Chains A and B, each alone.
Chain A
Amino acid sequence: MSKVVYISHDGTRHELDVSDGVSLMQAAVSNGIYDIVGDCGGSASCATCHVYVDEAFCDRLLAPTEREAGMLECAAAEVKPNSRLCCQIVMSPTLDGLVVEIPDRQW
Protein backbone atom coordinates (compact mmCIF):
# COMPACT_ATOMS: atom_id res chain seq x y z
CA MET A 1 0.00 0.00 0.00
CA SER A 2 1.58 3.30 -1.08
CA LYS A 3 0.34 6.85 -1.29
CA VAL A 4 -0.53 8.54 -4.59
CA VAL A 5 -1.62 12.14 -4.99
CA TYR A 6 -3.75 13.01 -8.00
CA ILE A 7 -4.17 16.71 -8.72
CA SER A 8 -7.14 17.63 -10.89
CA HIS A 9 -6.91 20.43 -13.41
CA ASP A 10 -8.89 22.71 -11.06
CA GLY A 11 -6.35 22.12 -8.31
CA THR A 12 -8.35 19.57 -6.29
CA ARG A 13 -6.03 17.09 -4.55
CA HIS A 14 -7.07 13.47 -4.15
CA GLU A 15 -4.89 11.29 -1.94
CA LEU A 16 -5.29 7.55 -2.26
CA ASP A 17 -3.64 4.57 -0.67
CA VAL A 18 -3.04 2.22 -3.56
CA SER A 19 -2.17 -1.45 -3.15
CA ASP A 20 0.89 -2.79 -4.91
CA GLY A 21 0.02 -4.29 -8.28
CA VAL A 22 -2.97 -2.02 -8.86
CA SER A 23 -2.78 0.47 -11.71
CA LEU A 24 -3.16 4.16 -11.06
CA MET A 25 -6.10 4.25 -13.46
CA GLN A 26 -7.94 1.45 -11.65
CA ALA A 27 -7.35 3.09 -8.27
CA ALA A 28 -8.58 6.47 -9.49
CA VAL A 29 -11.70 5.19 -11.23
CA SER A 30 -12.78 2.83 -8.48
CA ASN A 31 -12.45 5.64 -5.95
CA GLY A 32 -14.51 8.02 -8.03
CA ILE A 33 -11.82 10.37 -9.38
CA TYR A 34 -13.96 11.30 -12.31
CA ASP A 35 -11.45 13.11 -14.51
CA ILE A 36 -9.54 9.88 -15.06
CA VAL A 37 -11.74 7.92 -17.40
CA GLY A 38 -10.17 4.62 -18.47
CA ASP A 39 -12.77 3.70 -21.07
CA CYS A 40 -10.91 0.68 -22.44
CA GLY A 41 -10.51 -0.89 -19.02
CA GLY A 42 -6.76 -0.53 -18.87
CA SER A 43 -5.39 -2.01 -22.08
CA ALA A 44 -3.63 1.14 -23.35
CA SER A 45 -6.20 1.50 -26.10
CA CYS A 46 -8.10 4.71 -25.47
CA ALA A 47 -5.80 7.40 -24.02
CA THR A 48 -8.45 8.56 -21.52
CA CYS A 49 -6.32 8.10 -18.40
CA HIS A 50 -3.67 10.61 -19.41
CA VAL A 51 -1.66 12.15 -16.57
CA TYR A 52 1.44 14.30 -16.15
CA VAL A 53 3.87 12.57 -13.81
CA ASP A 54 5.83 14.66 -11.30
CA GLU A 55 9.34 15.01 -12.76
CA ALA A 56 10.90 13.62 -9.60
CA PHE A 57 9.25 10.27 -10.26
CA CYS A 58 9.64 9.95 -14.02
CA ASP A 59 12.89 7.99 -13.75
CA ARG A 60 11.35 5.47 -11.38
CA LEU A 61 8.76 4.39 -13.95
CA LEU A 62 9.31 1.84 -16.65
CA ALA A 63 9.58 3.62 -19.98
CA PRO A 64 6.35 3.66 -22.03
CA THR A 65 5.92 0.73 -24.37
CA GLU A 66 5.63 1.43 -28.07
CA ARG A 67 1.90 0.89 -27.76
CA GLU A 68 1.52 3.39 -24.94
CA ALA A 69 3.67 5.93 -26.75
CA GLY A 70 1.51 5.51 -29.84
CA MET A 71 -1.67 5.91 -27.88
CA LEU A 72 -0.39 9.01 -26.13
CA GLU A 73 -0.31 10.68 -29.53
CA CYS A 74 -4.08 10.28 -29.53
CA ALA A 75 -4.61 11.98 -26.17
CA ALA A 76 -7.11 14.82 -26.15
CA ALA A 77 -5.05 17.21 -24.02
CA GLU A 78 -1.56 18.56 -24.64
CA VAL A 79 1.08 15.83 -24.57
CA LYS A 80 4.23 16.70 -22.62
CA PRO A 81 7.49 14.82 -22.01
CA ASN A 82 6.09 13.62 -18.66
CA SER A 83 2.77 12.44 -20.14
CA ARG A 84 1.76 8.88 -19.33
CA LEU A 85 -1.30 6.68 -19.52
CA CYS A 86 -1.82 5.85 -15.87
CA CYS A 87 -3.35 2.44 -16.63
CA GLN A 88 0.24 1.49 -17.44
CA ILE A 89 1.62 2.69 -14.10
CA VAL A 90 1.40 -0.16 -11.63
CA MET A 91 1.84 0.63 -7.97
CA SER A 92 4.98 -0.56 -6.22
CA PRO A 93 6.78 0.50 -3.03
CA THR A 94 9.32 2.59 -4.97
CA LEU A 95 6.48 4.82 -6.14
CA ASP A 96 5.26 5.77 -2.66
CA GLY A 97 4.33 9.45 -2.62
CA LEU A 98 3.89 9.65 -6.39
CA VAL A 99 2.22 12.86 -7.59
CA VAL A 100 0.38 13.03 -10.91
CA GLU A 101 -1.50 15.92 -12.46
CA ILE A 102 -4.64 15.29 -14.48
CA PRO A 103 -5.03 17.27 -17.72
CA ASP A 104 -8.09 19.41 -18.48
CA ARG A 105 -9.72 16.77 -20.65
CA GLN A 106 -9.49 13.10 -21.55
CA TRP A 107 -11.72 12.92 -24.65
Chain B
Amino acid sequence: MKAYEKVVIIGTGQAGVEVAFGLRANGWQGEITLIGESADIPHHLPPLSKAYLAGTATAESLYLRTPEAYQAQNIHLLSGIRVDAINREAAQVQLADGQALSYDRLVLATGGRPRTMPADCGPLAEADNFCYLRTLSDAERIRLQLVPGNRMVVIGSGYIGLEVAASAIKTGMQVTLLTIADRVLDRVTAPLVSSFYERLHRAAGVDIEVNTQIAGFEMSADQQHVRAVVCADGRRLDADLVVAGIGLVPNCELASAAGLQVDDGIIVNELMQTSDPAIMALGDCARFHSSIYNRWVRIESVPNALEQARKIAAILCGKTYRSEAAPWFWSDQYDIGLKMVGLSDGYERIVIRGSMEQPDFSVFYLKNNRALAVDTVNRPVEFNLSKQMVTDQLLIDPALLADESVPLKEIIAAARAEPNYA
Protein backbone atom coordinates (compact mmCIF):
# COMPACT_ATOMS: atom_id res chain seq x y z
CA MET B 1 0.00 0.00 0.00
CA LYS B 2 1.68 3.13 -1.19
CA ALA B 3 0.60 6.59 -0.21
CA TYR B 4 0.52 7.83 -3.82
CA GLU B 5 -2.16 5.39 -4.86
CA LYS B 6 -5.55 6.63 -6.01
CA VAL B 7 -8.43 6.11 -3.64
CA VAL B 8 -11.99 6.34 -4.87
CA ILE B 9 -14.74 6.41 -2.25
CA ILE B 10 -18.35 5.81 -3.27
CA GLY B 11 -20.79 7.44 -0.89
CA THR B 12 -20.80 10.87 0.73
CA GLY B 13 -22.46 9.99 4.00
CA GLN B 14 -20.60 10.14 7.27
CA ALA B 15 -18.66 6.96 6.47
CA GLY B 16 -17.30 8.10 3.12
CA VAL B 17 -16.47 11.62 4.22
CA GLU B 18 -14.68 10.38 7.33
CA VAL B 19 -12.55 7.99 5.26
CA ALA B 20 -11.49 10.87 2.99
CA PHE B 21 -10.54 13.25 5.80
CA GLY B 22 -9.09 10.41 7.87
CA LEU B 23 -6.77 9.46 5.02
CA ARG B 24 -5.43 13.00 4.78
CA ALA B 25 -5.05 13.25 8.54
CA ASN B 26 -3.00 10.05 8.45
CA GLY B 27 -0.71 11.42 5.77
CA TRP B 28 -2.16 9.97 2.56
CA GLN B 29 -0.48 11.71 -0.37
CA GLY B 30 -2.39 10.22 -3.29
CA GLU B 31 -5.54 11.32 -5.03
CA ILE B 32 -8.80 11.03 -3.11
CA THR B 33 -12.07 11.15 -5.01
CA LEU B 34 -15.35 11.11 -3.12
CA ILE B 35 -18.42 10.38 -5.26
CA GLY B 36 -21.98 10.93 -4.07
CA GLU B 37 -25.25 10.35 -5.83
CA SER B 38 -26.79 13.10 -3.74
CA ALA B 39 -26.24 16.65 -4.98
CA ASP B 40 -26.41 17.94 -1.40
CA ILE B 41 -23.26 19.03 0.41
CA PRO B 42 -22.40 16.01 2.60
CA HIS B 43 -24.30 16.39 5.82
CA HIS B 44 -25.28 14.78 9.11
CA LEU B 45 -28.32 12.51 8.99
CA PRO B 46 -29.30 12.16 12.68
CA PRO B 47 -30.68 15.71 13.06
CA LEU B 48 -33.05 15.14 10.14
CA SER B 49 -35.56 13.40 12.38
CA LYS B 50 -35.02 15.83 15.25
CA ALA B 51 -33.70 19.40 15.13
CA TYR B 52 -34.21 19.73 11.38
CA LEU B 53 -37.87 18.71 11.55
CA ALA B 54 -38.34 21.00 14.51
CA GLY B 55 -36.98 23.83 12.39
CA THR B 56 -34.14 24.56 14.81
CA ALA B 57 -31.35 23.45 12.47
CA THR B 58 -30.51 25.02 9.13
CA ALA B 59 -29.27 22.92 6.23
CA GLU B 60 -25.90 24.63 6.60
CA SER B 61 -25.54 23.61 10.23
CA LEU B 62 -25.83 19.99 9.10
CA TYR B 63 -22.70 20.03 6.93
CA LEU B 64 -20.14 17.41 7.92
CA ARG B 65 -17.36 19.72 6.75
CA THR B 66 -17.44 23.20 5.27
CA PRO B 67 -17.47 23.11 1.45
CA GLU B 68 -14.01 24.76 1.52
CA ALA B 69 -12.53 22.02 3.68
CA TYR B 70 -12.64 19.52 0.80
CA GLN B 71 -10.57 21.78 -1.39
CA ALA B 72 -8.21 22.63 1.44
CA GLN B 73 -7.56 18.92 1.99
CA ASN B 74 -7.32 18.22 -1.72
CA ILE B 75 -10.33 15.90 -1.67
CA HIS B 76 -12.05 15.77 -5.02
CA LEU B 77 -15.78 15.80 -4.28
CA LEU B 78 -18.09 14.70 -7.08
CA SER B 79 -21.65 15.38 -5.94
CA GLY B 80 -24.83 14.45 -7.76
CA ILE B 81 -23.18 11.73 -9.80
CA ARG B 82 -24.31 8.14 -9.88
CA VAL B 83 -21.90 5.25 -10.11
CA ASP B 84 -23.26 2.78 -12.64
CA ALA B 85 -20.79 -0.05 -12.24
CA ILE B 86 -17.51 -1.24 -10.82
CA ASN B 87 -15.20 -2.76 -13.41
CA ARG B 88 -12.82 -4.83 -11.31
CA GLU B 89 -10.70 -6.07 -14.22
CA ALA B 90 -9.93 -2.52 -15.33
CA ALA B 91 -9.97 -1.24 -11.71
CA GLN B 92 -12.36 1.51 -12.71
CA VAL B 93 -15.70 2.84 -11.63
CA GLN B 94 -18.10 3.72 -14.39
CA LEU B 95 -20.03 6.93 -13.76
CA ALA B 96 -23.47 7.74 -15.11
CA ASP B 97 -22.11 10.80 -16.91
CA GLY B 98 -19.89 8.57 -19.03
CA GLN B 99 -16.59 9.07 -17.17
CA ALA B 100 -14.57 6.14 -15.96
CA LEU B 101 -12.41 6.69 -12.87
CA SER B 102 -9.39 4.50 -12.17
CA TYR B 103 -8.67 3.37 -8.65
CA ASP B 104 -5.96 1.57 -6.77
CA ARG B 105 -8.20 1.29 -3.74
CA LEU B 106 -11.96 1.51 -3.84
CA VAL B 107 -14.04 2.13 -0.73
CA LEU B 108 -17.77 1.37 -0.72
CA ALA B 109 -19.64 3.60 1.70
CA THR B 110 -22.95 3.28 -0.08
CA GLY B 111 -25.13 3.29 3.03
CA GLY B 112 -28.74 2.28 2.87
CA ARG B 113 -32.19 3.36 1.82
CA PRO B 114 -35.51 3.17 3.60
CA ARG B 115 -37.33 -0.15 3.46
CA THR B 116 -40.51 0.46 1.50
CA MET B 117 -44.05 -0.66 2.26
CA PRO B 118 -45.05 -4.01 0.72
CA ALA B 119 -46.25 -3.69 -2.86
CA ASP B 120 -49.74 -4.89 -1.94
CA CYS B 121 -50.23 -1.70 0.06
CA GLY B 122 -50.70 0.03 -3.29
CA PRO B 123 -48.84 2.65 -5.29
CA LEU B 124 -47.39 5.20 -2.86
CA ALA B 125 -44.44 6.55 -4.76
CA GLU B 126 -46.52 9.30 -6.37
CA ALA B 127 -48.29 10.40 -3.21
CA ASP B 128 -47.25 13.87 -2.09
CA ASN B 129 -48.06 13.24 1.57
CA PHE B 130 -46.46 9.83 2.01
CA CYS B 131 -42.83 10.02 3.08
CA TYR B 132 -39.88 7.95 4.13
CA LEU B 133 -37.03 9.67 5.94
CA ARG B 134 -33.42 9.31 4.95
CA THR B 135 -32.33 12.33 2.95
CA LEU B 136 -32.41 16.06 3.42
CA SER B 137 -35.11 16.38 0.77
CA ASP B 138 -37.20 13.73 2.57
CA ALA B 139 -36.88 15.78 5.77
CA GLU B 140 -37.71 18.96 3.92
CA ARG B 141 -40.83 17.38 2.46
CA ILE B 142 -41.98 16.24 5.90
CA ARG B 143 -41.13 19.53 7.58
CA LEU B 144 -43.23 21.50 5.12
CA GLN B 145 -46.23 19.34 5.96
CA LEU B 146 -46.01 19.72 9.73
CA VAL B 147 -49.08 21.86 10.23
CA PRO B 148 -50.58 22.37 13.70
CA GLY B 149 -53.84 20.48 14.04
CA ASN B 150 -53.24 18.26 11.01
CA ARG B 151 -53.36 14.50 11.40
CA MET B 152 -50.17 12.53 11.01
CA VAL B 153 -49.81 8.77 10.96
CA VAL B 154 -46.37 7.33 11.66
CA ILE B 155 -45.77 3.72 10.64
CA GLY B 156 -43.04 1.92 12.55
CA SER B 157 -41.78 2.11 16.11
CA GLY B 158 -38.04 2.08 15.70
CA TYR B 159 -35.87 5.13 16.31
CA ILE B 160 -36.96 6.94 13.16
CA GLY B 161 -40.68 6.48 13.78
CA LEU B 162 -40.43 7.54 17.43
CA GLU B 163 -38.20 10.52 16.74
CA VAL B 164 -40.46 11.74 13.94
CA ALA B 165 -43.50 11.34 16.19
CA ALA B 166 -41.79 13.32 18.97
CA SER B 167 -40.78 16.10 16.58
CA ALA B 168 -44.23 16.26 14.98
CA ILE B 169 -46.26 16.36 18.18
CA LYS B 170 -44.15 19.30 19.36
CA THR B 171 -45.29 21.23 16.29
CA GLY B 172 -48.92 20.68 17.26
CA MET B 173 -49.81 17.84 14.86
CA GLN B 174 -52.19 15.12 15.99
CA VAL B 175 -49.96 12.07 15.85
CA THR B 176 -50.85 8.38 15.75
CA LEU B 177 -48.05 5.85 15.64
CA LEU B 178 -48.85 2.38 14.31
CA THR B 179 -46.59 -0.60 14.76
CA ILE B 180 -46.91 -4.24 13.90
CA ALA B 181 -44.81 -5.04 16.99
CA ASP B 182 -46.30 -5.58 20.42
CA ARG B 183 -44.18 -2.74 21.83
CA VAL B 184 -42.03 0.11 20.58
CA LEU B 185 -38.29 -0.43 20.05
CA ASP B 186 -38.96 -4.16 20.33
CA ARG B 187 -35.91 -5.15 18.32
CA VAL B 188 -33.40 -3.28 20.45
CA THR B 189 -34.58 -2.80 24.02
CA ALA B 190 -36.04 -4.73 26.93
CA PRO B 191 -39.80 -4.47 27.54
CA LEU B 192 -39.38 -2.08 30.45
CA VAL B 193 -37.44 0.37 28.30
CA SER B 194 -40.16 0.07 25.66
CA SER B 195 -42.76 0.85 28.31
CA PHE B 196 -40.75 3.86 29.43
CA TYR B 197 -40.84 5.23 25.88
CA GLU B 198 -44.51 4.42 25.38
CA ARG B 199 -45.35 6.36 28.56
CA LEU B 200 -43.19 9.25 27.40
CA HIS B 201 -44.92 9.48 24.02
CA ARG B 202 -48.42 9.00 25.39
CA ALA B 203 -47.81 11.73 27.98
CA ALA B 204 -46.84 14.03 25.12
CA GLY B 205 -50.08 13.17 23.33
CA VAL B 206 -48.96 10.58 20.78
CA ASP B 207 -51.48 7.80 20.25
CA ILE B 208 -49.50 4.56 20.03
CA GLU B 209 -51.25 1.54 18.54
CA VAL B 210 -49.25 -1.67 18.87
CA ASN B 211 -50.00 -5.03 17.17
CA THR B 212 -51.36 -3.11 14.22
CA GLN B 213 -50.83 -4.30 10.70
CA ILE B 214 -51.32 -2.01 7.71
CA ALA B 215 -53.70 -3.38 5.07
CA GLY B 216 -53.38 -0.49 2.66
CA PHE B 217 -54.07 3.13 1.96
CA GLU B 218 -57.11 5.00 0.82
CA MET B 219 -55.93 7.22 -2.01
CA SER B 220 -57.37 10.25 -3.75
CA ALA B 221 -58.87 9.57 -7.18
CA ASP B 222 -55.71 10.72 -8.95
CA GLN B 223 -53.53 8.58 -6.65
CA GLN B 224 -51.50 11.68 -5.72
CA HIS B 225 -52.62 11.84 -2.11
CA VAL B 226 -53.12 9.44 0.78
CA ARG B 227 -56.46 10.14 2.43
CA ALA B 228 -56.38 7.47 5.11
CA VAL B 229 -54.40 4.53 6.44
CA VAL B 230 -56.37 1.29 6.57
CA CYS B 231 -55.42 -1.30 9.19
CA ALA B 232 -55.79 -5.06 8.80
CA ASP B 233 -58.42 -5.10 11.58
CA GLY B 234 -60.57 -2.73 9.53
CA ARG B 235 -59.75 0.49 11.35
CA ARG B 236 -59.35 3.51 9.14
CA LEU B 237 -57.25 6.51 10.15
CA ASP B 238 -57.62 9.81 8.31
CA ALA B 239 -54.23 11.27 7.52
CA ASP B 240 -52.88 14.55 6.21
CA LEU B 241 -49.36 13.18 6.35
CA VAL B 242 -47.97 9.64 6.58
CA VAL B 243 -44.36 8.85 7.44
CA ALA B 244 -43.08 5.28 7.38
CA GLY B 245 -39.92 4.30 9.24
CA ILE B 246 -39.84 0.55 8.86
CA GLY B 247 -36.17 -0.18 8.49
CA LEU B 248 -33.16 0.25 6.27
CA VAL B 249 -32.08 -1.74 3.21
CA PRO B 250 -28.30 -1.72 2.65
CA ASN B 251 -27.18 -0.48 -0.76
CA CYS B 252 -25.29 -3.51 -2.02
CA GLU B 253 -26.31 -3.57 -5.68
CA LEU B 254 -23.04 -2.17 -7.04
CA ALA B 255 -21.10 -4.72 -5.02
CA SER B 256 -23.35 -7.61 -6.06
CA ALA B 257 -23.17 -6.66 -9.72
CA ALA B 258 -19.37 -6.57 -9.45
CA GLY B 259 -19.42 -10.13 -8.10
CA LEU B 260 -18.43 -9.25 -4.54
CA GLN B 261 -19.77 -11.42 -1.74
CA VAL B 262 -22.99 -9.96 -0.35
CA ASP B 263 -25.38 -11.28 2.29
CA ASP B 264 -27.66 -8.51 3.63
CA GLY B 265 -24.57 -6.32 3.54
CA ILE B 266 -21.27 -6.36 1.73
CA ILE B 267 -19.14 -8.98 3.43
CA VAL B 268 -15.82 -7.65 4.77
CA ASN B 269 -12.95 -9.26 6.66
CA GLU B 270 -11.13 -7.90 9.71
CA LEU B 271 -9.16 -5.56 7.41
CA MET B 272 -12.43 -4.17 6.03
CA GLN B 273 -11.72 -5.80 2.66
CA THR B 274 -14.50 -7.24 0.56
CA SER B 275 -13.95 -10.49 -1.32
CA ASP B 276 -11.76 -8.35 -3.63
CA PRO B 277 -8.87 -7.06 -1.47
CA ALA B 278 -8.60 -3.84 -3.52
CA ILE B 279 -12.15 -2.96 -2.49
CA MET B 280 -13.17 -2.13 1.07
CA ALA B 281 -16.60 -1.45 2.52
CA LEU B 282 -17.88 0.08 5.74
CA GLY B 283 -20.80 1.52 7.62
CA ASP B 284 -24.49 0.73 7.12
CA CYS B 285 -23.79 -1.34 3.99
CA ALA B 286 -21.08 -3.63 5.41
CA ARG B 287 -21.37 -6.93 7.27
CA PHE B 288 -18.46 -8.07 9.40
CA HIS B 289 -17.65 -10.78 11.89
CA SER B 290 -17.78 -9.31 15.38
CA SER B 291 -15.15 -10.71 17.70
CA ILE B 292 -17.10 -9.36 20.67
CA TYR B 293 -20.31 -11.21 19.75
CA ASN B 294 -18.74 -14.02 17.70
CA ARG B 295 -21.26 -13.63 14.90
CA TRP B 296 -21.75 -11.70 11.69
CA VAL B 297 -23.32 -8.30 12.17
CA ARG B 298 -24.24 -5.24 10.16
CA ILE B 299 -24.51 -2.13 12.30
CA GLU B 300 -26.64 0.87 11.38
CA SER B 301 -25.14 3.68 13.39
CA VAL B 302 -23.06 6.80 12.94
CA PRO B 303 -20.42 5.86 15.54
CA ASN B 304 -19.89 2.51 13.81
CA ALA B 305 -19.45 4.24 10.46
CA LEU B 306 -16.94 6.66 11.97
CA GLU B 307 -15.06 3.92 13.79
CA GLN B 308 -14.76 1.83 10.64
CA ALA B 309 -13.80 4.88 8.57
CA ARG B 310 -10.93 5.63 10.94
CA LYS B 311 -9.90 2.01 10.80
CA ILE B 312 -9.80 2.04 6.98
CA ALA B 313 -7.84 5.30 6.95
CA ALA B 314 -5.31 3.82 9.38
CA ILE B 315 -5.02 0.54 7.47
CA LEU B 316 -4.49 2.25 4.11
CA CYS B 317 -1.84 4.51 5.61
CA GLY B 318 -0.08 1.63 7.33
CA LYS B 319 -0.87 2.90 10.82
CA THR B 320 -2.08 0.92 13.79
CA TYR B 321 -5.81 0.88 14.34
CA ARG B 322 -7.86 0.19 17.40
CA SER B 323 -9.41 -3.23 17.83
CA GLU B 324 -13.15 -3.72 17.63
CA ALA B 325 -15.11 -1.62 20.08
CA ALA B 326 -18.71 -2.31 21.04
CA PRO B 327 -21.06 -0.39 18.72
CA TRP B 328 -23.08 2.42 20.19
CA PHE B 329 -26.23 4.29 19.32
CA TRP B 330 -28.22 7.26 20.50
CA SER B 331 -31.73 8.55 20.17
CA ASP B 332 -33.13 11.91 21.27
CA GLN B 333 -36.85 12.11 21.91
CA TYR B 334 -38.35 15.09 23.71
CA ASP B 335 -35.70 16.08 26.22
CA ILE B 336 -34.65 12.49 26.86
CA GLY B 337 -31.34 11.30 25.46
CA LEU B 338 -31.06 7.54 25.21
CA LYS B 339 -27.57 6.18 24.72
CA MET B 340 -26.98 2.53 24.11
CA VAL B 341 -23.86 0.46 23.76
CA GLY B 342 -23.71 -3.11 22.48
CA LEU B 343 -26.18 -5.56 20.98
CA SER B 344 -28.65 -6.99 23.46
CA ASP B 345 -29.86 -10.01 21.42
CA GLY B 346 -29.73 -13.17 23.49
CA TYR B 347 -29.58 -11.56 26.93
CA GLU B 348 -30.67 -13.68 29.89
CA ARG B 349 -31.46 -11.07 32.49
CA ILE B 350 -31.43 -7.37 33.04
CA VAL B 351 -30.18 -5.28 35.93
CA ILE B 352 -31.33 -1.71 36.45
CA ARG B 353 -29.45 1.03 38.23
CA GLY B 354 -31.28 4.23 39.07
CA SER B 355 -34.83 5.34 38.61
CA MET B 356 -37.02 5.16 35.53
CA GLU B 357 -39.35 7.77 37.04
CA GLN B 358 -36.68 10.46 37.38
CA PRO B 359 -35.66 9.50 34.63
CA ASP B 360 -32.05 8.66 35.41
CA PHE B 361 -31.12 5.05 34.81
CA SER B 362 -28.99 2.41 33.17
CA VAL B 363 -30.24 -0.99 32.03
CA PHE B 364 -27.68 -3.76 31.74
CA TYR B 365 -28.40 -6.73 29.47
CA LEU B 366 -26.46 -9.67 30.91
CA LYS B 367 -25.56 -13.10 29.67
CA ASN B 368 -23.35 -15.35 31.79
CA ASN B 369 -22.60 -12.33 33.99
CA ARG B 370 -21.22 -10.33 31.11
CA ALA B 371 -22.95 -7.26 29.72
CA LEU B 372 -23.99 -7.72 26.10
CA ALA B 373 -25.44 -4.23 26.01
CA VAL B 374 -26.32 -1.27 28.21
CA ASP B 375 -29.02 1.38 27.70
CA THR B 376 -28.59 4.63 29.60
CA VAL B 377 -30.76 7.68 30.13
CA ASN B 378 -29.16 10.77 31.65
CA ARG B 379 -26.10 8.83 32.76
CA PRO B 380 -23.27 9.86 30.46
CA VAL B 381 -20.57 8.66 32.82
CA GLU B 382 -22.11 5.21 33.19
CA PHE B 383 -22.59 5.14 29.44
CA ASN B 384 -18.92 5.69 28.83
CA LEU B 385 -17.87 3.16 31.46
CA SER B 386 -20.33 0.70 29.94
CA LYS B 387 -18.52 0.95 26.62
CA GLN B 388 -15.45 -0.57 28.30
CA MET B 389 -17.52 -3.13 30.15
CA VAL B 390 -19.16 -4.39 26.95
CA THR B 391 -16.10 -4.14 24.69
CA ASP B 392 -13.87 -5.99 27.16
CA GLN B 393 -16.62 -8.46 28.07
CA LEU B 394 -15.88 -8.02 31.76
CA LEU B 395 -17.26 -10.52 34.25
CA ILE B 396 -19.58 -8.58 36.51
CA ASP B 397 -21.27 -9.52 39.76
CA PRO B 398 -24.97 -8.76 39.12
CA ALA B 399 -25.66 -8.15 42.82
CA LEU B 400 -22.96 -5.51 42.91
CA LEU B 401 -24.25 -4.00 39.70
CA ALA B 402 -27.74 -3.66 41.17
CA ASP B 403 -26.35 -1.79 44.19
CA GLU B 404 -26.46 1.92 43.38
CA SER B 405 -24.23 2.71 46.36
CA VAL B 406 -21.30 1.08 44.55
CA PRO B 407 -20.03 3.31 41.76
CA LEU B 408 -19.83 1.63 38.36
CA LYS B 409 -16.21 2.70 38.12
CA GLU B 410 -15.40 0.55 41.17
CA ILE B 411 -17.32 -2.41 39.80
CA ILE B 412 -15.31 -2.24 36.60
CA ALA B 413 -12.05 -1.83 38.47
CA ALA B 414 -12.92 -4.89 40.57
CA ALA B 415 -13.76 -6.87 37.44
CA ARG B 416 -10.43 -5.96 35.91
CA ALA B 417 -8.55 -6.84 39.08
CA GLU B 418 -10.17 -10.26 39.32
CA PRO B 419 -10.69 -11.42 35.75
CA ASN B 420 -11.43 -14.95 36.88
CA TYR B 421 -14.34 -14.11 39.12
CA ALA B 422 -17.42 -16.35 38.75
Contact = CB atoms under 8 A, between A and B. Distances in A.
A53 interface: no
Interface string A9-35: 000000000000000000001111011
B387 to A, nearest CB: 9
Contacts of A100: none
A74 B388 CA distance: 11
Nearest to B26: A34
B364 interface: no
Contact of A73 (B65, B72, B381): B381
B380 A67 contact: yes
Given A39-B303, A41-B44, A43-B337, A30 B69 contact: yes
Interface of B is mostly: helix
B295 to A, nearest CB: 25
A74 B381 contact: yes
Nearest to B21: A32
Interface in B1-47: 21-22, 24-25, 44, 46-47
B65 A31 contact: yes
Contacts of B306: 39
B330 A40 contact: yes
Interface string B306-348: 1000000000000000100000001010000101000000000
Contacts of B159: none
B368 interface: no
Contact of B65 (A32, A40, A107): A32
A43 B72 CA distance: 28
B359 to A, nearest CB: 15
A96 to B, nearest CB: 20
Interface string A34-78: 110001110111110000000000000000000100110110000
A34 B26 CA distance: 9
B248 to A, nearest CB: 19
Contacts of A40: 330
The 3 closest A-B pairs by CB, nearest first: A34-B25, A74-B384, A70-B381
